């Protein structure tokens, strides 16, 4: 057998081995890469979703704050209206008119 | 209470208007004011007599008669110079003030000592004394102000701000007040709007003149925005910012591949949308991502999208969720700007994409949308409004191209734009979590717009480009109970009022 033939044979063998290894790599790792790529995509979608949820929750907190502000304002308005009523002439006159009744009531209770 | 100086420059006033104007100022419920009136030369004897009589009756009127002719703005500048108040209100003597105008103004300045400039709503009193053309103005909108002097009357400035910016620039003549307002808003710490009609004019303020374009260009130069200013065909101006760099755009089109009759022809909607997009888009750097419904590995409806290296098709094999489809499309794309596009649109304007990307170059703008037209060319959407509930602004109306002052012809900030065509910065889209999958069919755009506004960015709607949107042709438009409940849970505080569109279209 000629030396060159031997070299060709070993080269062929090496090429075949490289091919086999490439195939092994392709089958094994590319599926892993695909899996990982899909996982990354899923995680990205999950991240997007969780960001939306956090924004949504912040919006709901905003709703509660707005409702609270509205109620506080209403309470303030009612307190003012109450104060105005107590300071009004009608209320004072009414109190004065009913004073004997109140005194009488207190006396009856005491006895 | 700090003094408010009302300033007026008089040139040939109508005596009846002037009389009414004087009456309206004298009868102000607030007492801490002065009125600096500078009458240009020559002044008619009857006018002179009326003014002198008024000044004799009320010492708060300070009148100066000029000896030389200088025009309205020179007279007004002299009035500004004479003003001694902490705040300066500009009053045209063809107009009247509401009796509470100055007290309302004083209250706002009193509540917040950082307010440097404020404006109020206004209306017109016609010859019969009837109040018409009520103009309810939006909250401060710097983008709208770039082409539309909506602040106009009544404008009140803190005098220290006027000292800082200088007075009226008379070279701009009829646009001098517009120029003054623009310069004031650039420097003001806080700008306030009183949503009450406190100013009654007797004519529509002219929206433009020969100097308007220069005033706008000067403003853009001062704020450092490179933009093209041009006069529009039927009046008014447009400002289109230059696009910084070669921005890649990803157009995301979710579709089921349905066909419908459009303009009398049975049309595969997505084919039509993509064909028109590829045919009519002059913007170069874009990709198209089509999210296409599959069921058990088979397309729900067959489509024949043109072969193009820019077009990528992604299968979607899950129950219908418009938001999820959009999110998947955006995730699979890599443009710096994302355009959400319905499959039931048709593109006619070659500049549609460059206009939308350009709108995102305005400072702090995260989302932009175009004018959308129905099949019969009526408006489908001119942005969103929250008043009374979330809906498309101008829906079903004609676009009124000839009326430059119509809101349908003004680029402005809005509460939202429809996801049928919306350009969004990718980083903004990501940070906000994209379209919420809790809104599979309806209100996903309303929710996204509110998230974006809460995030502190603005949304711009522009009439500078138009698309046809064959609304509701591609899916059932009714909202589910879950979507309505979610919307209320998140955003009911925003309903019933709209800071950008306070009055109906």
The predicted-structure confidence for B184-196, as pLDDT tens digits, reads as follows: 999 999 999 999 9
Q: Given B185, B209, B225, which residue is the final one in a domain?
A: B225
* pLDDT tens, residue by residue, B461-500: 999 999 999 986 444 556 789 999 999 999 999 999 999 9
Q: Contacts of residue A67 in chain B, CB cutoff 8 Å?
A: 493
* CA B55 – CA B48 distance, rounded (Å): 11
Mean pLDDT, rounded, for A20-43: 86
The nearest CA of chain A is from the CA of B436 a distance in Å of 6
Nearest to B436 among A52, A62, A67 (CB): A52
B166 and B32, same structural domain?
A: yes
pTM to 2 decimal places: 0.88
Per DSSP, helices labelled H in B58-175 are: 72-82, 101-111, 142-145, 159-165
Q: How many domains does chain B have?
A: 2
Residue A22 lies in domain: 3-110
Indicate if B281 and B209 belong to the same structural domain.
no
Contact B331, A41 (CB under 8 A): yes
B478 to each of B82, B373, B496, how far by Cα in Å? 62, 20, 21
Which regions of chain B are under pLDDT 50?
473-475
Mean pLDDT (chain A) is: 91
Name the 3-class secondary structure at B263. Answer: coil
pLDDT of residue A1: 58
Q: Give the per-residue pLDDT at B474.
A: 47
Residue A59 contacts B, CB cutoff 8 Å: yes
> Is the domain of B263 the same as that of B194?
no
User: What span, in angstroms and rounded, lies between the C-alpha atoms of A28 and A34?
Assistant: 10
Q: What's the CA gap between B300 and B239, in Å, rounded? A: 44
Same domain flag for B265 and B345: yes
Do the domain assignments include residue B256?
A: yes
Instruction: Establish if A39 touches chain B: CB-CB under 8 angstroms.
Output: no
CA distance A102 to chain B (A): 45
The pLDDT tens digits of the residues spanning B78-134 come to 999 999 999 999 999 889 999 999 999 999 999 999 999 999 999 998 888 888 889
Residue B43: predicted pLDDT: 81
Together in a domain, B159 and B308: no
> Is B505 in contact with B391 (CB distance < 8 Å)?
no
Q: Which of B162, B191, B225 is the last residue of a domain?
A: B225
B275 and B212 share one domain: no
- What pLDDT does B476 receive? 54
* Phi, psi of B421, deg, nearest 5: -160, 100
| Closest to B65 (Cα-Cα) out of B33, B108, B36 | B36
| Helical segments of B403-468, H only | 426-431, 444-454
Nearest residue on chain B to A66, judged by CA atoms? B493
Percent of chain A with pLDDT over 70: 98
Name chain B contacts of A60, Cβ cutoff 8 Å: 489-490
Nearest CA in chain B to A68: B493
Smallest CA–CA distance, residue A51 to chain B, in Å, is 5
Does position A43 have pLDDT exceeding 90, yes or no? yes
What CATH number is associated with residue B397? 3.90.550.10
pLDDT of residue A38 exceeding 60, the answer is yes
CA distances from B223 to B183, B219, B226 (A): 10, 6, 9
CA distance B422 to B469: 12
Question: How many degrees, rounded to 5, is the angle at CA B383 between CA B487 and CA B190?
Answer: 90
CB contact under 8 Å between B490 and A60, yes or no, is yes
Q: Rounded to 5 degrees, what are φ and ψ at B132?
A: -130, -175
The tally of domains found in chain A comes to 1
Mapped to the 3 state alphabet, what secondary structure does chain A carry?
Answer: CCHHHHHHHHHHHHHHHHHHHHHHHHHHHHHHHHHHHHHHHHHHHHHHHHHHHHHHHHHHHHHHHHHHHHHHHHHHHHHHHHHHHHHCHHHHHHHHHHHHHHHHHHHHHHC
| Residue ranges making up the domain that contains B374 | 249-494
- Within 8 A of B454 by CB-CB distance, chain A residues are 55, 58-59, 62
Residue among A51, A62, A66 whose CB faces B432 most closely = A51
> For residue A50, which residues of chain B lie inside 8 Å, CB to CB?
433
Q: What is the CA radius of gyration of chain A?
A: 44
Check: CB of residue B212 under 8 Å from CB of residue B175. Answer: yes
Residue A56 and residue B436: Cβ atoms within 8 Å?
yes
Q: Identify the contact set of chain B against chain A, taking CB-CB distances under 8 A.
A: 327-328, 331, 430-438, 447, 450-451, 454-455, 489-493
Same domain, B275 and B399: yes
A58-81 mean pLDDT: 96
Residues B291, B391 share a domain: yes
Angle (CA) A88-B30-B35 rounded to 5° is: 170
At which residue do the structure tokens 């955006």 appear? B330
Under DSSP, is residue B205 helix (H, G, I), strand (E, B) or coil? coil
pLDDT of residue B361: 97
Cα separation values, A75 from A64, A72, A82, B464, Å: 16, 5, 10, 48
The pLDDT value given to residue A27:
78
Closest-CA residue in chain A for B431?
A: A51
- Searching chain A, which residue's CA lies closest to the CA of residue B451? A55
């Amino acid at each position: 057998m000629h030396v060159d033939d031997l070299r060709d044979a070993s080269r062929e063998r090496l090429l075949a081995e490289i091919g086999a290894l490439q195939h092994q790599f392709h089958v094994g790792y590319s599926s892993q890469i695909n899996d990982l790529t899909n996982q990354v995509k899923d995680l990205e979608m999950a991240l997007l979703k969780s960001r939306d949820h956090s924004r949504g929750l912040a919006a709901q907190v905003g709703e509660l704050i707005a409702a609270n502000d509205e109620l506080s304002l209403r309470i303030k308005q009612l307190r003012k209206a109450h104060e105005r009523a107590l300071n009004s002439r009608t209320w004072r006159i009414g109190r004065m008119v009913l004073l004997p009744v109140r005194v009488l009531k207190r006396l009856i209770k005491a006895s | 209470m700090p003094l408010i100086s009302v300033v007026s420059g008089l040139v040939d006033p109508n005596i009846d208007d002037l009389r009414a104007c004087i009456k309206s100022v004298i009868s102000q419920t607030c007492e801490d004011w002065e009125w600096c009136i500078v009458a240009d030369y020559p002044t008619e004897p009857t006018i002179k007599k009326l003014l002198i009589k008024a000044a004799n009756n009320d010492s708060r009127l300070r009148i100066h008669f000029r000896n030389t002719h200088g025009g309205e703005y020179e007279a007004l500048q002299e009035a500004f110079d004479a003003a001694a108040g902490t705040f300066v209100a500009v009053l045209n003597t063809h107009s009247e003030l509401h009796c509470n105008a100055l007290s309302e103004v004083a209250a706002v300045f009193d509540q917040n000592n950082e307010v440097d400039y404020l404006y109020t709503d206004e209306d017109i009193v016609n010859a019969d004394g009837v109040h018409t053309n009520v103009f309810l103005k939006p909250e401060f909108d710097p983008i709208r102000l770039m082409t539309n002097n909506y602040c106009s009357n009544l404008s009140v400035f803190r005098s220290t701000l006027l000292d800082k910016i200088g007075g009226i620039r008379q070279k701009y003549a009829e646009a001098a007040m517009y120029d003054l307002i623009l310069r004031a808003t650039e420097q003001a710490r806080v700008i306030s709007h009183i949503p009450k009609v406190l100013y009654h004019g007797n004519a529509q303020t002219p929206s433009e003149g020969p100097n308007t374009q220069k005033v706008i260009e000067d403003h853009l130069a001062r704020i450092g925005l490179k933009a093209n200013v041009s006069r529009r065909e039927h009046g008014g101006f447009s400002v289109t910012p230059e696009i910084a760099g070669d921005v890649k755009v990803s157009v995301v089109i979710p579709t089921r591949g349905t066909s419908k009759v459009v303009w009398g022809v049975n049309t595969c909607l997505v084919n039509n949308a993509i064909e028109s997009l590829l045919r009519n888009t002059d913007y170069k750097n874009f990709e198209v991502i089509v999210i296409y419904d599959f069921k058990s590995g088979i397309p729900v409806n067959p489509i024949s999208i043109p072969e193009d290296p820019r077009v990528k098709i992604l299968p979607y094999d899950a129950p219908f969720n418009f938001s999820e489809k959009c999110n998947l499309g955006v995730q699979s794309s890599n443009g710096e700007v994302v355009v959400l596009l319905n499959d039931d649109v048709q593109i006619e304007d070659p500049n549609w994409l460059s206009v939308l990307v350009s709108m995102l170059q305005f400072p702090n703008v995260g989302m932009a949308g175009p004018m959308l037209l129905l099949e019969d060319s009526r408006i489908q959407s001119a942005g969103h409004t929250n008043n009374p509930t979330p809906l498309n602004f101008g829906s079903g109306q004609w676009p009124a191209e000839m009326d430059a002052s119509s809101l349908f012809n003004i680029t402005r900030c809005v509460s939202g734009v429809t996801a049928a065509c919306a350009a969004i910065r990718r980083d903004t889209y990501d940070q906000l979590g994209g379209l919420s999958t809790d809104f599979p069919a309806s209100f996903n755009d309303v929710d996204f717009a509110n998230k974006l506004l809460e995030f502190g960015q603005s949304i711009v709607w522009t009439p500078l480009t138009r698309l046809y949107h064959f609304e509701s042709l591609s899916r059932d438009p009714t909202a589910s109970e879950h979507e309505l409940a979610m919307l209320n849970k998140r955003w009911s505080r925003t309903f019933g009022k709209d800071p950008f569109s306070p009055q109906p279209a």
